[in-house]
Amino acid sequence: MTSPPEWISFPSSVAFKGYEAKAVYSGFFTNNASGTTDAARYVEIINSCQAVAVRSCVEYEGEYLNLLGNLMGKPVIPVGLLPPEKAEGREIQITDGSWGENFKWLNEQKPKSVVFVGFGSECKLTKDQVHEIAYGLEPSELPFLWALRKPDWAIEDADALPSGFSGRTSGRGMVCMGWAPQMEILAHPSIGGSLFHSGWGSVIETLQFGHCLIVLPIIIDQGLNARLLVEKGLAVEVERREDGSFSREDIAKSLRLATVSEEGEKLRIHAREAAAIFGDPKLHQDHYIGGFVKYLKTGFAKQK
């Protein structure tokens, strides 16, 4: 799990880190309340199906899709990336007054200058993780918009951040507690990059706008997503210690490398180029969904 297996016939860096492998093994191969493991359930489903549909596309990971089909011995059908409708060109409906202020602030920033920070609701960050991210944003000197859900360990919203953080970053950064209109944020012209968990849905949402990625995987398959993004030249992954911890210096270094350094220019170019694939509704809806429907009507019937 911690190194690319021998049956991958092409160069690959996609593998779990040691701390990720331990967490995945514990959650995937241990009996749960149902009396079985998620791994056993997954194997049974794959063995019982005639084909496997995957939210992906050949343009991004064709070699891995071919490998998956060979391993499973049955058709693996990419159904496209299914990008959500872009917020560009439509009126942004914001009923929360605080978000009106946040977008006003975004309007005042330079194009492609702001880093959007968001880890969603499924990734439960510890106090140390939240604080190291905050302390990393400070010395990065980059404008940022951080959508932060109040952690369970924080009594009040203000308890989630290090003391004095809001004052020290006033004017340069915004921290918004609770729900965030992510698609509207990503569509804003002032956004240039995103620090997030590398969940597949958020990868698609972000790359369709051509933003550079700074990835900090937290759970499940996010580590594998991160390795592939780095392999494709689309992301910088925050460095971690053997136990999975990271420092404020790691956060600041990764942010600046991806967004403003000369060394990261190639990454930013690749991200802009990726938007032509990740943000093409015709490719994903007409070609891939159309092809999947055709398979269900013809190819699937022939397998019976």
Tell me, what CATH number does 205's domain have?
3.40.50.2000
Structural contact between residues 188 and 105, judged by C-beta atoms closer than 8 angstroms: no
Beta strands 191-196 and 212-215 are parallel
If asked whether residues 71 and 164 sit together in one domain, one would say no
Structural contact between residues 47 and 37, judged by C-beta atoms closer than 8 angstroms: no
If asked whether residues 111 and 35 sit together in one domain, one would say no
92 — pLDDT class (breaks 50, 70, 90): low
90 — pLDDT class (breaks 50, 70, 90): very low
301 — pLDDT class (breaks 50, 70, 90): low
Could you report the per-residue pLDDT of 213-233, keeping only the tens digit for each?
Answer: 999 999 999 999 999 999 999
If asked whether residues 29 and 43 sit together in one domain, one would say yes
User: Tokens at residue 156, please?
Assistant: 């009040």
Which of 248, 251, 245, 247 is CA-nearest to residue 20? 245
Number of domains in the chain: 2
Using alpha carbons only, give the angle 176, 182, 186 rounded to the nearest 5 degrees: 110
In a domain, 5, yes or no: no
If asked whether residues 23 and 122 sit together in one domain, one would say no
- Boundaries of domain holding 61: 18-83+280-303
If asked whether residues 165 and 252 sit together in one domain, one would say yes
In a domain, 147, yes or no: yes
pLDDT of residue 299: 72
Give helix then strand counts, H and E, for the chain: 14, 8
**What is the H or E stretch that residue 215 is in?**
strand 212-215
Whether the predicted pLDDT of 88 surpasses 50: yes
pTM recorded for the entire structure: 0.93
**What is the H or E stretch that residue 218 is in?**
none
Please, what is the average pLDDT of the chain?
93
Residues 6+ away with beta carbon under 8 Å from 260? 142
If asked whether residues 230 and 285 sit together in one domain, one would say no
Burial of 200 (0-12, 13-18, 19+ CB in 10 A): middle
Q: What is the mean pLDDT of residues 1-24?
A: 94
In a domain, 4, yes or no: no
Q: How far apart are CA 102 and CA 137, in angstroms?
A: 18
pLDDT of residue 89: 45
If asked whether residues 153 and 112 sit together in one domain, one would say yes
**What is the H or E stretch that residue 265 is in?**
helix 265-278
Classify each residue of 109-147 as buried b or exposed e, where b means 16 or more C-beta atoms within 10 Å of its C-beta: beebbbbbbbbeeebebeeebbbbbbbbbbebebbbbbb
94 — pLDDT class (breaks 50, 70, 90): low
